[in-house]
Structure 1
């Protein structure tokens, strides 16, 4: 009995263009932390190329439609009836929740692969996955190789194969559970819909430039092959993805693979963790003066009693850039960290329940010392603390700088370099501030030790447009910048938008403020009247 012809559902953005199409890859968007909005000059008559944000926010159930413009739901991403096979890489999985967002007529026919990191046989998460997977004949579980004791399988990625011989890769920040797709702020990078190659694929080499589709494919396949170190986990996925054309992709894969990695590997080998950051950023141009790097995360691990690793390993890697054409050395960027305080969790849409996904600790003596060097860097998520201090990074009070997400607690992770007038680059990733995610400093044996699986995508304006004079500017409550917004390029240069998940200007922590700590008890009721017992 032949299957009936399936009708493909079109996913459209606010402009009516198909989500994930090659045209969508051309319309990527960023933004600047300190960029004013200027009116067009009278002589500017040429049609300016305006591209939408390469990163999308996920929709928030309890916010208005105006705050969800351009946002995507899980149903938007996986509800296409043409999906024949789905690979779900994540930390937490709710199989029934995922299945409920597939097309109801075809979900039982879709081959589902769940990749997780719960390797202990008695782990309750593993046992629950096995129980739920057993209720669906089309679900297969795969356990990732976890060589490091304190590592997690933290990557968040979907790979979707369709009946029309296309594939799509989605790298995002949400666990595959209802909580993360309801009232938590998350984000997604959605690849174009990629066609099958016309001829059999050659053995892929790292001959493509960083950010190109060929290099993205090489690095993604390298990442997936790393799962097969001990046993075959992703062998079939690697074999199948190799048959597809990634030419339309514009983005650099920045991922982490657990294990010990040689610090002196050749440039054509895929690097992991902070080494991947450095390798990528060596090819990315950056403004030499007035730069800030804003690190917005949902977890800060134990980093040590002093800031050596933070400054010399992570921040030094993030400070890397392509050498400027002009003479002179570039100034090291200033760093800011966005992390919510208890009052922001208390007032979030889900109240204290949001805080169960947001982690740091300040109880021990070493953690108290860590807070001392982190405090000057810490900034609020919602930027409406009565004790906070507005920074000078952005003096504009224009309403266009309101993201509409301050009450939707952050699970998204973004790393953005803001120049004096425009954005230099942006990274959307699963990786928080931790040695487990980015890797330890190089040891005496010349190795970098990484504990966790992570994955992200970095973009920059020249990459997305093919034009060196292109600029990237922040967008708020929309994915596409207005024609009046521009960076430091000339009036004919392309402008790319970047959807910013937080409000600007940023608000620095006050001298007595501390970050949210999920393990601590909070007796002041949240807006729903509940208290938090800690754990």
Structure 2
């Protein structure tokens, strides 16, 4: 079967026509560089997605590009065998997905290039039995350009929004970025205990990121593993007596959060303070507690109580989360894209002529969005993205440009790691061939901060820029990819919102930072000094976004790419 559109032409075997249409890839790994966790020879020591396994396989046994491959016939993507259900990318589900599909859990790699938000970035331990080679590798991972981390964290970034350090680029481009070891540094004080929320945990690697003196501190790992995957995770932690677990019991599907935002250091409230003490104007404290309570886990009660005892009044961002479930009435606006809509309507400042400003979404995975834009993207989802302050009437959605930033095949091919980086971008052929209409919205991934050699993104951001891309009405950094599973989809004639995944993000609104103008200025160059850093927001990719050209195709992870070599002289054959 031949599928062809403005930005894609793929040959698909007849067997794929009947492939599991709703096992679409939504959840990538937390980093673009798989080799950060394990040596190429060893491969991953944890269950992971089919895309991630393919990336590791190609790293360990690359297929070299030769001229003979230029005319080679591209074999179709292999249909996933039923016995491999637990290994597939299964979270980018659509409305048509069977309920029992949500019982399958996909995996995600925790990497040095990515870390959780501070509310999630709570900590770890364990006995370190690394070899000299492993110690050397860890030293290299932690090495970075000279910078005063404390100065950076205490005032160098007024928004608390940081990018993650990347290996293999000029050190100047890592200026202002953070390694997970920076976040776990004693500079923040003496660690008492910690919790880690993530999608897939490599326990030994995680423990190594902590300073030696903190590796025996109590560590709680919150996860969504089941059956064999859960057993493997528990086995990883056996050498570490201080590690305990909390399983997120999910009836629909499990997602996760990987935002990179750092809170201030919150002081403890005086003893006897009221329950409402320590709240911020953005209600961040109560929203964070509500999010943790959604796990319905007695194990997290200790952390909820701990947050209650602290003063979070300095927080100037809004928490925006998703939790699995079906919500009606006032609960419908508590999570997902309807939560974004509510926040923008209530707290965004009116800006002249803002009604026609475009919206920009940038992500690393895509779910099933329907047969055309009216099914979700250009209807309920866009209505939330274009919501404005009280009394402001949004323009008709068809008049609001939408720019979706997602890497092309060449973006991946020319990246630092080459084709294996595509294992973190699990947009599947089964999903893509059903929504060729979507690709007309696509724009290339371009990040000046990456320098001549660029890394593939795992960050997810959404914003409302002006037509000249010099101002932003709001900016959201989140774990939510472009999918109904993450953002939610309306059911029952709009009376119910159904969400499948856990997600977490923070929304930056100018009003919360005391800007009467109603907008941030866009920081033109992430390396440049801003005249006023308090009003210049560091957008992590180039603006304006560049639309796909006639020869550009979106990266599809589960089909071969053999027409040109990547930066290591290899091809991509995932099967």
TM-score (norm 2): 0.68
Residue 4 of structure 1 is matched in structure 2 by none
Cα deviation 1:359-404 (Å, max 9, x = unaligned):
212346xx42412x21221000038xxxxxxxxxxxxxxxxx6664
Partners of 1:406 and 1:280 in 2: CA distance? 38
Choose the corresponding residue for 1:293, options 359, 363, 367. 359
Contact 2:168/2:416 (CA < 8 Å) preserved in 1? yes
Aligned partner of residue 449 in structure 1, secondary structure = strand
Cα deviation 1:177-233 (Å, max 9, x = unaligned):
xxxxxxxxxxx210000000113343349x97xxx45610011000000101xx424
Aligned partner of residue 55 in structure 1, secondary structure = coil
Partners of 1:87 and 1:337 in 2: CA distance? 34
Residue 459 of structure 2 is matched in structure 1 by 412
Contact 2:386/2:394 (CA < 8 Å) preserved in 1? no
Partners of 1:13 and 1:190 in 2: CA distance? 21
Residue 435 of structure 1 is matched in structure 2 by 484
In structure 2, relative to structure 1, the CA distance for the partners of 1:128 and 1:499 (3 Å cut) is farther
More strand by proportion, 1 or 2?
Answer: 1
Residue 515 of structure 2 is matched in structure 1 by 467
> Do structure 1's residue 224 and structure 2's residue 292 form an aligned pair?
yes
Moved more, 192-201 or 336-345: 192-201
> Do structure 1's residue 215 and structure 2's residue 283 form an aligned pair?
yes
Aligned length in residues? 421
Aligned partner of residue 122 in structure 1, secondary structure = helix
Query: Which structure 2 residues correspond to residues 99-248 of structure 1 after superposition, within 5 A?
Result: 99-108=207-216, 110-118=217-225, 120-123=226-229, 126-148=230-252, 151-156=253-258, 172=259, 188-204=260-276, 212-213=280-281, 215-228=283-296, 231-248=297-314
Shift of 1:101: 1.2
Residue 435 of structure 2 is matched in structure 1 by 370
Residue 306 of structure 1 is matched in structure 2 by 372
Partners of 1:296 and 1:461 in 2: CA distance? 20
Contact 1:293/1:335 (CA < 8 Å) preserved in 2? yes
Contact 2:162/2:177 (CA < 8 Å) preserved in 1? yes
More helix by proportion, 1 or 2?
Answer: 2
Residue 498 of structure 2 is matched in structure 1 by 449
Contact 1:95/1:132 (CA < 8 Å) preserved in 2? yes
Contact 1:404/1:477 (CA < 8 Å) preserved in 2? no
CA RMSD of the aligned region, Å?
2.8
Residue 358 of structure 1 is matched in structure 2 by 425
Choose the corresponding residue for 2:568, options 505, 528, 531. 528
Cα deviation 1:110-166 (Å, max 9, x = unaligned):
211111111x2123xx23311111111111111112110xx223123xxxxxxxxxx
Shift of 1:354: 0.9
For structure 2, the 5+ residue unaligned runs are: 1-144
Choose the corresponding residue for 2:167, options 61, 64, 67. 61
Partners of 2:479 and 2:511 in 1: CA distance? 24
TM-score (norm 1): 0.73
In structure 2, relative to structure 1, the CA distance for the partners of 1:19 and 1:220 (3 Å cut) is farther
Contact 1:474/1:481 (CA < 8 Å) preserved in 2? no
Residue 36 of structure 1 is matched in structure 2 by none
Partners of 1:261 and 1:198 in 2: CA distance? 37
Contact 1:427/1:459 (CA < 8 Å) preserved in 2? yes
Partners of 2:269 and 2:248 in 1: CA distance? 29
Aligned partner of residue 343 in structure 1, secondary structure = helix
Cα deviation 1:239-283 (Å, max 9, x = unaligned):
111100000101000100001111x217xx970111111111112
Moved more, 513-522 or 498-507: 498-507
Partners of 2:416 and 2:221 in 1: CA distance? 30
Choose the corresponding residue for 2:558, options 510, 519, 526. 519
In structure 2, relative to structure 1, the CA distance for the partners of 1:146 and 1:480 (3 Å cut) is farther
In structure 2, relative to structure 1, the CA distance for the partners of 1:323 and 1:214 (3 Å cut) is closer
In structure 2, relative to structure 1, the CA distance for the partners of 1:406 and 1:434 (3 Å cut) is farther
For structure 1, the 5+ residue unaligned runs are: 1-11, 29-52, 157-171, 173-187, 384-400, 486-493
Partners of 2:148 and 2:357 in 1: CA distance? 33
Aligned partner of residue 427 in structure 1, secondary structure = strand
Cα deviation 1:9-58 (Å, max 9, x = unaligned):
xxx9968764554x56xx53xxxxxxxxxxxxxxxxxxxxxxxx441111
> Do structure 1's residue 253 and structure 2's residue 319 form an aligned pair?
yes
In structure 2, relative to structure 1, the CA distance for the partners of 1:54 and 1:474 (3 Å cut) is farther
Aligned partner of residue 441 in structure 1, secondary structure = strand
Contact 2:282/2:318 (CA < 8 Å) preserved in 1? no
Contact 1:342/1:516 (CA < 8 Å) preserved in 2? yes
Query: Which structure 2 residues correspond to residues 43-62 of structure 1 after superposition, within 5 A?
Result: 53-62=159-168
Partners of 1:295 and 1:214 in 2: CA distance? 23
